[in-house]
Structure 1
Amino acid sequence: MSTVINQAVQVRLIASAPLERAIPAGLRYEPADPFAVRIAFPATASLDGAEVAWTFARELLATGLNEPVGAGDVHVWPCGTDRTVLEFHALEGMAMIQIDTTELRLFLRHSYELVPAGTEGEHLDVDSDLAALLRDA
């Protein structure tokens, strides 16, 4: 199945200066990469004028709706009942956003309808991925 889920969301960028501001973002889920979700921010939201995208585990996002999670570059935790915080760490610094939890739950529900939890491995094309790795080596 080649269906891709793209969902536009409005996020709140948390910063000390300038004060927090609303920015558009896009959530994406592809069965070809069944363990991952992607969030992208437009060039206008970045300091260097380039689009910024983060890819991380779908399970991390799902768990973070209910409890703090994350030990690497991405951390997720609930903020009250209606907001979820995503914190991104890079060499250049850190960014923190809040997203409406209902929107995240809807996005995840659609992703799990497309690829149920526990069936992700069935959607991997290991032979093609291996061939591409060997071709690029």
Structure 2
Amino acid sequence: MSTVIEHAVQARMVASAPRMESVPATLLYDRRDPFAVRIAFPATATLEGTDVSWAFSRELLAAGVDAPAGLGDVRVRPYGYDRTVVEFHAPEGVAMVHIRTSELRRFLKRVQGLVPAGREHLYLDLDHNLVELLRDAS
């Protein structure tokens, strides 16, 4: 069984221009990092022209599809009946994307099937993490 879930979505980049541009994005979940999800944008979708990936709490994404969630760099909230807004806050500014809520729910269902919520701790490799931490400290 694969330990990684990749789920391609179309995100609509919210900008000051009246038209929202659709960009490809990939939602990622790796069972080896059970508390986190990632969203990756290709270089063509970024101002810097480089691939960009944001990691944030799986719990934040799950909560944000139903009600506003998050106070830090990543915030998630429902928008209308079929969209969810994901906001990315950085020193350079704020990027907002709209993603179909049904796509996020489908992704979260797949994640739940791989690692049930509340059972994430069972998938942590604490021995490996401790070895890595001590190796980096020397």
Give the TM bin, normalised by the shorter chain: over 0.9
Residue 103 of structure 2 aligns with an amino acid whose one-letter code is E
Give TM-score scaled by structure 1 length. Answer: 0.97
Once the two structures are TM-superposed, the CA of residue 18 in structure 1 deviates from its matched residue by: 7.2
1:1-40 residue pairs with structure 2 within 5 A? 2-17=2-17, 19-40=19-40
Identity %: 61
Residue 136 of structure 1 aligns with an amino acid whose one-letter code is D
**Which residue of structure 2 lines up, in the alignment, with residue 54 of structure 1?**
54
Dislocated runs of 4+, deviation >6 Å: none
**Which residue of structure 1 lines up, in the alignment, with residue 65 of structure 2?**
65
User: Secondary structure of the equivalent of 1:9?
Assistant: strand
- Are positions 1:86 and 2:110 aligned together? no
**Which residue of structure 2 lines up, in the alignment, with residue 75 of structure 1?**
75
Residue 130 of structure 1 aligns with an amino acid whose one-letter code is L
| Contact preservation (8 Å) 2:34, 2:124 | yes
Structure 1 unaligned regions, length at least 5: none
How many positions carry a matched residue from both structures? Answer: 137
Once the two structures are TM-superposed, the CA of residue 3 in structure 1 deviates from its matched residue by: 2.0
| Contact preservation (8 Å) 2:4, 2:31 | yes
**Which residue of structure 2 lines up, in the alignment, with residue 135 of structure 1?**
135
Once the two structures are TM-superposed, the CA of residue 19 in structure 1 deviates from its matched residue by: 3.3
Give TM-score scaled by structure 2 length. Answer: 0.96
**Which residue of structure 2 lines up, in the alignment, with residue 106 of structure 1?**
106
Once the two structures are TM-superposed, the CA of residue 2 in structure 1 deviates from its matched residue by: 4.5
Once the two structures are TM-superposed, the CA of residue 17 in structure 1 deviates from its matched residue by: 3.4
Q: Distance in 2 between matches of 1:88 and 1:121?
A: 27
Residue 104 of structure 1 aligns with an amino acid whose one-letter code is L
Considering only aligned residues, what root-mean-square deviation do their CA atoms show, in Å?
Answer: 1.1
| Contact preservation (8 Å) 1:85, 1:98 | yes
| Contact preservation (8 Å) 2:36, 2:55 | yes
Once the two structures are TM-superposed, the CA of residue 81 in structure 1 deviates from its matched residue by: 1.3
Residue 131 of structure 1 aligns with an amino acid whose one-letter code is V
